[in-house]
Amino acid sequence: MFCVRIDDVIRHNERVATIKFERKIPSFPGQFLMVNVFGYEEIPLSLSSPNSVTVKAVGETTEALVNSKPKDLIGLRGPFGRPFTPSDKALIVAGGIGIAPLKFLHDYLIDRGAEVLVVFGARTAKDLIWVDEFENAIFATDDGSEGFRGNVVELVKSIDLSKFERIYCCGPKPMLRGLFELFKAKNVLDKAEFSLENYMRCGIGLCGSCVLENGARVCVEGPVFRGIELPKEF
């Protein structure tokens, strides 16, 4: 484990904040860190840029992190896991806080001259973060307060998937399962990549708490899996 000092805390809404570190961590989009919030637990969080994580308060540790202050110290292990595979024509599909690793991927691909379309869904407009920072994006909200009224899977159904080299997805399990079924029906599972957020403890392949039905460890063989690598139940 190594320690870094927090440089800045950017509040996106009541429950979500980006925690910027004082230095960059050599890493690729899709990789995650084990973040030790002193006095609380150690939790896995995706990098949302080379020097940040973006976290939603859902329990004690994430709440403490969202409320942390510049100059606070946190402990890190990593980066761990298999990253996304870059492409020149990308469709990014995000649900809720699943946008965190995909924001890093978006910026990485844009810097390399790729064409990127972002489809981002959330409960309401205030849960949509970074809306002005994507080059080309469409939005969905459950209550219709921004963009398409309905869920992200319904919105993706209206898109011609044949023109994309890769499709990258991260978000809640029901959304990922809906996309998995849609891509299977449309015969594009081979170009889809899913980032999974299964419960983790060690982050390095030893404890078995993140293992999928087919034996793959999300922390080592993932967290990014190609659609064709995923078991029926994931």
Ligand X SMILES: Cc1cc2nc3c(=O)[nH]c(=O)nc-3n(C[C@H](O)[C@H](O)[C@H](O)COP(=O)(O)OP(=O)(O)OC[C@H]3O[C@@H](n4cnc5c(N)ncnc54)[C@H](O)[C@@H]3O)c2cc1C
Backbone angles phi, psi at 133, to 5 degrees: -100, -5
Number of residues engaging ligand X in binding (CB under 6 A)? 22
Query: Which CB atom, from 124 or from 187, has the smaller least distance to ligand X?
Result: 124
Query: Which CB atom, from 90 or from 216, has the smaller least distance to ligand FES?
Result: 216
| Cβ contact 152:172 at 8 Å | no
Residue range at the interface with ligand FES (CB under 6 A); choices 12-20, 69-77, 99-107, 199-207: 199-207
Measured CA to CA, the distance from residue 112 to residue 63 in angstroms comes to 35
Sole binder of ligand FES in the list 99, 189, 216, 219 (CB under 6 A): 219
Rg over alpha carbons for the chain, rounded to the nearest Å, is 17
| Cβ contact 73:64 at 8 Å | no
Task: Give which of 108, 66, 62 is closest to 88, Cα–Cα.
Answer: 108
Structure tokens, 133: 């920072």
Closest-approach residue to ligand X (CB): 59
**Residue 44 interacts with ligand X (CB under 6 A): yes or no:** yes
Residue range at the interface with ligand FES (CB under 6 A); choices 56-64, 128-136, 153-161, 206-214: 206-214
Measured CA to CA, the distance from residue 17 to residue 56 in angstroms comes to 7
Binding site for ligand X (CB under 6 A): 32, 41, 43-46, 53-56, 58-62, 97, 100, 197-200, 223
Binding site for ligand FES (CB under 6 A): 200-203, 205-210, 217, 219
